[in-house]
Chains A and B, each alone.
Chain A
Amino acid sequence: MRMMTSDEDLADAAAAGDGAAFASLLDRHYDRLFAFCFRLTGSRTEAEDLTQDICAALPAKLASYGRRAKVTTWLYRVAVNAAHDRRRKRATYAKATTGWGDWEVNRTAAMADTTDKLDWLTAAMNALSDDLRDTLALVLDDMTHAQAAEVLQVPEGTVSWRISEAKKALRAMKEQEDIV
């Protein structure tokens, strides 16, 4: 039988102290995790830092995994929680962007095509409340409402409601813009 080791098996092995399994798991999910962080934060540098926070804390969190959910669901839950923590912290200190961050900001600015759209999107996402933005980020990441509900640990109906609220808000923003 030739099959790929499942994420769940890797996570179990990692939780049991297998460093190679942990490395494989992280390597497998890093890019998706980063993309999700970008959706949560709307900024490249913020996403990099959030991903770093998650990576730093992940080994300790691994003990809480315990196979109750798919690894992706668990990982997204960790990410959403880390984003909450980060937002809370951000209120207390001003973020100094240095090194790679600046370089990336310049680079992002150079991508003239997508910048306009990105700005609008970032602004729009930021205008949403944290709950709506988290939910939207999950659903935009190809998750079903049920999966998003599992990650956020809220009823599925709440997710559907939040999405329709988010759509409404975005539509209103777009209309406003079109008028102006």
Chain B
Amino acid sequence: MTDDLNDLKAMMDAATPRPDLARRAENIALAQKNFADLQGSAQAARPTAVTGPKGLWTGVKTMLSTITTKGGLTATTALVACGFLIMTPQGQDLLRPPSSPQITVTEFNRAIVPPEAVSGSATVAAPREDTFASQPQDIATAPAVDLTPNLNTADRSRVTAKSLPQVTADADILQQQAAEIAEGMTQGQAMAATTMQTSRVAPTLNDEQAMPRLAPERVVVAPPPQADDAMVSPAPSTESFANIAASPLKITAEEPVSTFSIDVDTASYALVRSSLSRGELPPREAVRIEEMINYFPYDYPTPDAGEAPFRPTVTTFQTPWNANTQLVHIALQGRSPEMTARPPLNLVFLIDTSGSMDDPAKLPLLKQSFRLMLDQLRPQDQVAIVEYAGSAGQVLAPTNASERTTILQALQSLGAGGATNGQGGLEQAYAVADTMAEAGEVSRIILATDGDFNVGIDNPDALKDFIADRRETGTYLSVLGFGRGNLDDATMQALAQNGNGTAAYIDTLSEAQKVLVDQLSGALFPIAGDVKVQVEFNPAQIAEYRLIGYETRGLRREEFNNDAVDAGELGAGHAVTAIYEVTPVGSPAQLSDPLRYAPSTVAETSDELGFLKLRYKAPGEDVSQLLKTPITGNGAPGTEANFAAAIAGFGQLLRGDDHLGDWGYADAITLAAANRGEDTFGYRTEAVQLMRLAESLSRAE
């Protein structure tokens, strides 16, 4: 028997008692007293976005934390004890443990739910007694002992029939009790009672780590004032992400032209990695598929000398997740200029030193990252450092990169403290950059922050207008995000897109190595500005199409030819990939029916699938140039295209998009693992590992 830990575990679970409520209250009060003492002052806890609006439960907590005298403890303990006494049937043995009615219920739960759910029952059961204690008048009319037989039979059949999860069973018990109390109620009325009871239990159900997704739905059913608890506050996350719904399926006959700006950011991939390594699936809003695809270096054909600064390659091949559609894979490969011949560089490090940066994954990692980058600079490059907290300040005046010690000392002297004033810092950084600028040099501000722009302009729109004004001066802005917790992805995106720079998220030193060392030239030296992509599909060949990712980068059709409209920059050596899923005419995968009254056939004009047009500006120029190439039929995908497709699939799985059918993580892993290519830096191997992690996590949900 003991050779199987499961038996031991079941036994242990059965033996584990529930915590004594009085002791629980006492211990929690003790902890809160110590917590309050430790804060050093009697100031009340400041409500933050994390704790959300205060509700009844929070009020009780605050009361417990403030009444910490002996008398207060005695009073609360006595109150709880009285509550229990009222619950027990009159004349029952007074020494009987107050929670025994619940024990009966819990044991029946053990009998019918799978063992792994049992540990949850203890957690749910105790707070549930709280609920009862607060409504003694309801329960007192119905002796719990009399209820028990009914409960057992009714609930057993109920639960086995529907095979409801544990929490629902508990809610049903409550419903049954409510129904018993109001005898003669109809089933419909009883259901109403369920809704109410369920809502009351919701805050405690939330404690169940195993089913966090379930709880908010329950609150939605009927949010009563009681459920207004800190733990279920509607929007408690302090992270915000820039994303919108997945690009919708377009019908070629109605909308043959698709236009978007390129995106060379990588922040989303690093965010996804950071979430997965923490053991949680990333929030769907954090997944931007194009940034995941473009995170990886690809071995696309490079442009020949004398051609445009980048070379487009288009491949069409079978969609991995749908036998009846095709992927149109558009790859742009930027030229890698001679690094020895590069112009001198003026860098202004704009560093957030607000209190929130005081975290091993933020300021210390940032210092290490910049130290790595410093080795990549050449003696004639110049570096300045501006920090911003409550007020902005120049830490290091423009200094030649050869004076390494001075720069490192300035970097080390940075310490976190105070609020964040993003705009004050930005203004000063642009002013410093202006003083450094000379003809023929490249100026760039590198903003490093955890995303906290909590003083001054905190509206992304106002901030990006400011930056859009400034990029005309020739100073570009890149944004590096650090740390999790209050990362403001939306602002980061807005800043980098409008500053003609890139947004990257740095979670580890190896990511810093990738962004600031291995791909430094791409991050700092633009070879083509305002790169726009426009594809016109041929309705005779393509019935429907769908752009995968690029949701935040869409442009209107007429904006393609308008040189005043901003778009993404392509850095030296950068590769950009965009993937369309297209449904050929007559394919069984077509989702929309042909129209009855519209002209039914399109003239067979060409066997081209579509036509690709690209616009870009040479650095420093105002007039765009046009590249065009037709998209033709079937091809065989290479390693690079296959890997990009695997990542596109992975991103869609993380977003929960519904275009993939049965294709799952296992297929993405197989496809990605088989197409890792040379993978000098190990990025693709890491991606496969992340897919495995995501697969396990999605199963655990």
The residues of A with any CB-CB pair to B shorter than 8 Å are: 1-6, 8-10, 12-14, 17-24, 26-32, 34-35, 38-39, 44, 47-48, 51-52, 55-60, 62, 66-68, 70, 72, 100, 104, 107-108, 114, 117-118, 121, 139-142, 163, 167, 170-171, 173-174
Shortest CB-to-CB span from A7 to chain B, Å, is 8
Q: Are B18 and A170 in contact (CB under 8 A)?
A: no
Given A100-B20, A100-B23, A17-B30 contact (CB < 8 Å): no
Q: Are B65 and A55 in contact (CB under 8 A)?
A: no
Q: Are B283 and A140 in contact (CB under 8 A)?
A: no
Q: Are B19 and A13 in contact (CB under 8 A)?
A: no
Question: Scoring B residues 361 to 396 as 1 if CB is less than 8 Å from chain A, else 0, what string do you get?
Answer: 100000000000000000000000000000000000
Shortest CB-to-CB span from A177 to chain B, Å, is 10
Could you tell me the distance between the alpha carbons of A72 and B441 in the complex, rounded to whole angstroms?
52
Q: Which residues of B contact A66 (CB under 8 A)?
A: 359-360
Number of cross-chain contacts by CB at 8 Å: 203
Q: Which residues of A contact B146 (CB under 8 A)?
A: none
Q: Are B36 and A52 in contact (CB under 8 A)?
A: no
Task: Confirm or deny: B123 has a beta carbon within 8 angstroms of a beta carbon on chain A.
Answer: yes
Known contacts A10-B50, A22-B31, A142-B116; 11 additional CB pairs below 8 A are A3-B216, A8-B278, A26-B28, A31-B18, A31-B24, A35-B16, A35-B119, A55-B34, A58-B31, A60-B34, A170-B2
Q: Are A51 and B485 in contact (CB under 8 A)?
A: no
**When the two chains form the complex, which single residue of B12, B235, B285 contacts A39, counting CB atoms closer than 8 Å?**
B12
Minimum CB distance partner of B231 in chain A: A24
Q: Are B39 and A17 in contact (CB under 8 A)?
A: yes
Could you tell me the distance between the alpha carbons of A14 and B64 in the complex, rounded to whole angstroms?
16
Q: Which residues of A contact B216 (CB under 8 A)?
A: 2-4
Shortest CB-to-CB span from B125 to chain A, Å, is 9
The residues of B with any CB-CB pair to A shorter than 8 Å are: 1-3, 5, 8-9, 11-12, 14-20, 22-24, 26-28, 30-32, 34-39, 44-48, 50-52, 54, 58, 61-62, 64-65, 97, 116, 119, 122-123, 126-127, 206-207, 209, 212, 215-216, 230-238, 278-280, 283, 285, 359-361, 484-485
List, sorted by A's number, 15 A–B pairs whose CB atoms are closer than 8 Å: A3-B237, A4-B206, A4-B232, A18-B48, A23-B32, A23-B61, A23-B230, A27-B61, A27-B231, A35-B119, A56-B27, A56-B34, A70-B279, A167-B2, A173-B2
Shortest CB-to-CB span from A125 to chain B, Å, is 9
Could you tell me the distance between the alpha carbons of A62 and B39 in the complex, rounded to whole angstroms?
12
**Among A31, A38, A59, A117, which residue has the most Cβ atoms of chain B within 10 A?**
A31
**When the two chains form the complex, which single residue of B17, B28, B50 contacts A55, counting CB atoms closer than 8 Å?**
B28
Q: Are B19 and A34 in contact (CB under 8 A)?
A: yes
Q: Are B27 and A51 in contact (CB under 8 A)?
A: yes
Q: Which residues of A contact B5 (CB under 8 A)?
A: 139-140, 163, 167
Q: Are B19 and A51 in contact (CB under 8 A)?
A: yes
Could you tell me the distance between the alpha carbons of A114 and B666 in the complex, rounded to whole angstroms?
44
Could you tell me the distance between the alpha carbons of A165 and B16 in the complex, rounded to whole angstroms?
23
What are the 4 closest A-B residue pairs judged by CB atoms, nearest first? A19-B45, A5-B236, A59-B35, A55-B31
Could you tell me the distance between the alpha carbons of A142 and B64 in the complex, rounded to whole angstroms?
32
Q: Are A121 and B15 in contact (CB under 8 A)?
A: yes
Shortest CB-to-CB span from B700 to chain A, Å, is 11
Could you tell me the distance between the alpha carbons of A140 and B44 in the complex, rounded to whole angstroms?
40
**When the two chains form the complex, which single residue of B23, B36, B209, B361 contacts A67, counting CB atoms closer than 8 Å?**
B361
Q: Which residues of A contact B484 (CB under 8 A)?
A: 67
Q: Are B38 and A59 in contact (CB under 8 A)?
A: yes
Q: Are B28 and A20 in contact (CB under 8 A)?
A: no
Could you tell me the distance between the alpha carbons of A39 and B9 in the complex, rounded to whole angstroms?
10
Q: Which residues of B contact A22 (CB under 8 A)?
A: 31-32, 35
Shortest CB-to-CB span from B202 to chain A, Å, is 11
Q: Are B24 and A30 in contact (CB under 8 A)?
A: yes
Shortest CB-to-CB span from B530 to chain A, Å, is 32
**When the two chains form the complex, which single residue of A8, A62, A139 contacts B485, counting CB atoms closer than 8 Å?**
A8
Q: Are A1 and B32 in contact (CB under 8 A)?
A: no
Q: Are B28 and A30 in contact (CB under 8 A)?
A: yes
Minimum CB distance partner of B207 in chain A: A28
Could you tell me the distance between the alpha carbons of A41 and B163 in the complex, rounded to whole angstroms?
35
Q: Are A55 and B27 in contact (CB under 8 A)?
A: yes
Shortest CB-to-CB span from B120 to chain A, Å, is 10
Q: Which residues of A contact B61 (CB under 8 A)?
A: 20, 23-24, 27
Q: Are B9 and A140 in contact (CB under 8 A)?
A: yes
Q: Are B50 and A31 in contact (CB under 8 A)?
A: no
Could you tell me the distance between the alpha carbons of A80 and B44 in the complex, rounded to whole angstroms?
32
Q: Which residues of A contact B232 (CB under 8 A)?
A: 4
Could you tell me the distance between the alpha carbons of A17 and B485 in the complex, rounded to whole angstroms?
16
Q: Which residues of B contact A118 (CB under 8 A)?
A: 15
Q: Which residues of B contact A167 (CB under 8 A)?
A: 2-3, 5
Q: Are B212 and A4 in contact (CB under 8 A)?
A: yes
Could you tell me the distance between the alpha carbons of A10 and B123 in the complex, rounded to whole angstroms?
19
Q: Which residues of B contact A117 (CB under 8 A)?
A: 11, 14-15
Shortest CB-to-CB span from B21 to chain A, Å, is 10
Q: Which residues of A contact B30 (CB under 8 A)?
A: 52, 55-56
Q: Which residues of B contact A58 (CB under 8 A)?
A: 31, 34-35
**When the two chains form the complex, which single residue of A14, A26, A48, A141 contacts B19, counting CB atoms closer than 8 Å?**
A48
Q: Are A44 and B17 in contact (CB under 8 A)?
A: yes
Q: Are B31 and A31 in contact (CB under 8 A)?
A: no
Q: Which residues of B contact A29 (CB under 8 A)?
A: 207
Q: Which residues of A contact B28 (CB under 8 A)?
A: 23, 26-27, 30, 55
Could you tell me the distance between the alpha carbons of A118 and B696 in the complex, rounded to whole angstroms?
34
Shortest CB-to-CB span from B408 to chain A, Å, is 25
Could you tell me the distance between the alpha carbons of A86 and B600 in the complex, rounded to whole angstroms?
83
Q: Are B206 and A26 in contact (CB under 8 A)?
A: no
Q: Which residues of B contact A104 (CB under 8 A)?
A: 17, 20
Q: Which residues of B contact A173 (CB under 8 A)?
A: 2
Shortest CB-to-CB span from B577 to chain A, Å, is 28
Q: Which residues of A contact B9 (CB under 8 A)?
A: 140
Shortest CB-to-CB span from A87 to chain B, Å, is 20
Could you tell me the distance between the alpha carbons of A173 and B2 in the complex, rounded to whole angstroms?
9
Could you tell me the distance between the alpha carbons of A28 and B54 in the complex, rounded to whole angstroms?
17
Q: Are B17 and A38 in contact (CB under 8 A)?
A: yes
Could you tell me the distance between the alpha carbons of A72 and B123 in the complex, rounded to whole angstroms?
15
Shortest CB-to-CB span from A156 to chain B, Å, is 16
Q: Are B38 and A60 in contact (CB under 8 A)?
A: yes
Minimum CB distance partner of B59 in chain A: A20
Q: Are A20 and B122 in contact (CB under 8 A)?
A: no
**When the two chains form the complex, which single residue of A5, A44, A68, A142 contacts B237, counting CB atoms closer than 8 Å?**
A5
